[in-house]
Structure 1
Amino acid sequence: MASSPEAKYTEETVLWVKRHTPKLMTFAVSRPEAYRFSAGQFSRLGFRDGEGFIWRAYSVVSAEYADTLEYFTVLIEGGPMSVKFAHMQAGDTILLDKTATGFLLPERFQDGRDLVMLCTGSGIAPFLSILEQPEIWQRFDRLALAHSVSRADELIFNDRIAALSEHPLVGEYFGKLTFQPVLTRDQTDGALCGKRLPALISDGTLAAAFGMAFTQADTRFMLCGNPDMVKDTFQALLDKGFAMHRNRIPGHILMENGF
């Protein structure tokens, strides 16, 4: 006998909502005591919609040990979930699938000294979670994160990343991290401007900005973002001799589409 839909989800409370721009928002929901996930995984969130339900996957921003579950979303005009989120307020109810999933997990790499995380838009979410795990800082000699967006006001996590230097669990390792903002349609100090991530990889600009050489022996890549970015960045890495990591065939690249 199939399980009833109610057996597969819990009803959670929206704790807070922050709208950073007309399109970008973060929010947190209550976390069931039994809910487990690994940093890099995503949750399925949902709402009742007429006589049925609407569900979408969102990477968890929170650390594995956090008491609440935080998420980041880019609102899409006319998108069914975006319409719901646009009106969502603290105190509302949201549905949470009981099972987290996803394979964008740094522990899948069996070797490597440098971890390079490349993302666009909301694709930064899983990396924010990963960076709050002490194990990741202990495992790798160097960490590098590039977040590519169109406009400067979309770089909403710069201060959060800088604050990791004071984090009680990972702050002592903060010197291992290089964070590089990327802007494709804007200019601001400290960012690489005017090029997409694939081009910055192909011409060596990104490696230079990180102050590291990308090598098959040492460098492992994780990609998360819009499908075009993931596809094109993957190809740029293939062109440099890197390969997809598979469970039975170790490689250099893990990737996941995010929106």
Structure 2
Amino acid sequence: MQAAVEAKFTEETVLWVKQHTPKLLTFAITRPEAYRFSAGQFSRLGFRDGAGFIWRAYSVVSAEYADTLEYFVVLIEGGPMSARLAQLQAGDSILLDKTAFGFFLPGRFTDGEQLIMLSTGSGIAPFLSMLQQPAVWERFRHIGLVHSVSHANELIFSQHINELIHHPLIGEYTDQLTYQPVVTREPTAGALGQRLPQLLQNGTLAEGLGLNFNHEQTRFMLCGNPAMVTDTFQTLLDMGYSMHRNKVPGQIIMENGF
């Protein structure tokens, strides 16, 4: 039985760890040559725990073609996995499920010209992976990336996003991108200050992105904490948008596994 379980994962090496705030962590691990994923999917990472294992799902920040796998984690007080990750150092070992999971994929939309990426906390991770794929930029004429956090020091990817203009594969497309930070608990220059549902309802988000949201051309992807996803999804339903399904095309795809 143990051998069968271990056949489903590989043991990888932690390459680097960066602690941005007491609760925000990014790190990278080695990538097996056979590991495949699509931008927007998540990995299962784990550790041995006594006679068993502990596993959690984390969206990949890296591009599909990257040599390493990068992740962004919000540490949860009292969480058993967070306790392990808080002690993580370069050179440590970590377990990686051989299979990537999830259907949070922009390619599921069959039409539309505007892709609006709405995220809170670590929910920005899959969007950072998507933005490194030329196919996303070729597919949508306008991309709006929205990242909502509580405090300004949690906007840890702002510089990374601004530097996409120098990316060798997608730099030529970045004039199609508008990045809109949202900080809900303190006034912050350049950031909006309300929760995403309110920003959608009052039109402030569309104004901040310089876009006219409409049912024909606007497509929304939601990723982050369950409260945001639930409330924002309901707001979009109230605005006349609908969930995208394989047999019934709509304007919303969401992921709330954070």
TM range (shorter): over 0.9
| Matched residue, 2:120 | 120
Amino acid at match of 2:87: H
Instruction: State how 1:83-94 maps to structure 2 within 5 Å.
Output: 83-94=83-94
Asked if the contact 1:18/1:26 (under 8 Å) is kept, the reply is yes
Alignment correspondent of 2:134:
134
CA contact (8 A) 1:122 1:258 kept: no
2:171 corresponding residue in structure 1: 171
Helix, strand or coil for the counterpart of 2:117? strand
Partner of 1:235: 234
CA distance in 2, matches of 1:248, 1:210: 30
- RMSD between aligned residues: 1.1
SS in 2 for 1:100: coil
Alignment of 1:189-204 (within 5 A): 189-193=189-193, 195-204=194-203
Task: Determine if the alignment matches structure 1 residue 57 to structure 2 residue 88.
Answer: no
Q: Distance in 1 between matches of 2:101 and 2:25?
A: 22
DSSP 3-state at the match of 1:4:
helix
Paired residue type of 2:81: M
- Kindly tell me the number of residue pairs found equivalent between the two proteins: 258
Shift of 1:188: 1.3
In structure 2, runs of 5+ residues without a counterpart are none
Matches within 5 A, 1:67-106: 67-106=67-106
CA distance in 2, matches of 1:248, 1:166: 39
Shift of 1:215: 0.6
Matched residue SS, 1:39:
coil
Amino acid at match of 1:109: F
Q: Matched residues in 1 for 2:144 and 2:240: separation?
A: 20
Distance 2:2 2:69 in 1: 28
- Supply the AA of the counterpart residue of 2:186: D
Deviation at residue 187 of structure 1 after TM alignment: 1.4
Question: Counterparts of 2:86 and 2:257 in 1: how far apart (Å)?
Answer: 19
Secondary structure, in 3 states, of the residue corresponding to 1:14? Answer: strand
1:32 equivalent to 2:35? Answer no
* Paired residues of 1:30 and 1:68 also in contact (CA < 8 A): yes
Q: Structure 1: give runs of 5+ residues left out of the alignment.
A: none
Partner of 2:223: 224
| Distance (whole Å) between structure 2 residues aligned to residue 258 and residue 24 of structure 1 | 17
Query: After the TM superposition, which parts of structure 1 deviate over 2 Å for at least 4 consecutive aligned residues?
Result: none
Q: Judging changes above 3 Å, is the alpha-carbon distance between structure 1 residues 102 and 70 closer, same or farther for their aligned structure 2 residues?
A: same
Give 1:4 shift: 0.5
Letter in 2 for 1:6: E
Equivalent position of 2:108 in the other structure: 108
CA distance in 2, matches of 1:83, 1:50: 15
Residues in 1 aligned to 2:40 and 2:23: alpha-carbon distance in whole angstroms? 23
Distance 1:73 1:86 in 2: 10
Alignment match, 2:207: 208
1:129 Cα offset (Å): 0.1
Distance in 2 between residues matched to 1:133 and 1:187, nearest whole Å: 33
Q: Residue 82 of structure 2 aligns to which amino acid in structure 1?
A: S
Give the C-alpha shift of residue 258 in structure 1: 4.0
Say whether the 8 Å CA contact 1:146–1:179 is kept in structure 2: yes
Matches of 1:54 and 1:29 in 2, distance apart? 17
Please give the secondary structure, in 2, of the residue aligned with 1:181. strand
Q: Deviations over 1:90-116 (max 9, x none)?
A: 000000000001111000000000000
Deviations 1:37-75 (A, max 9, x none): 000000000000111000000000000000000000000
Aligned-partner SS, 1:192: coil
Secondary structure of the 1:20 match is strand
In 1, distance between residues paired with 2:145 and 2:59? 17
Q: Distance in 2 between matches of 1:29 and 1:5?
A: 21
TM-score by length of 2: 0.98
**1:200 partner amino acid:** L
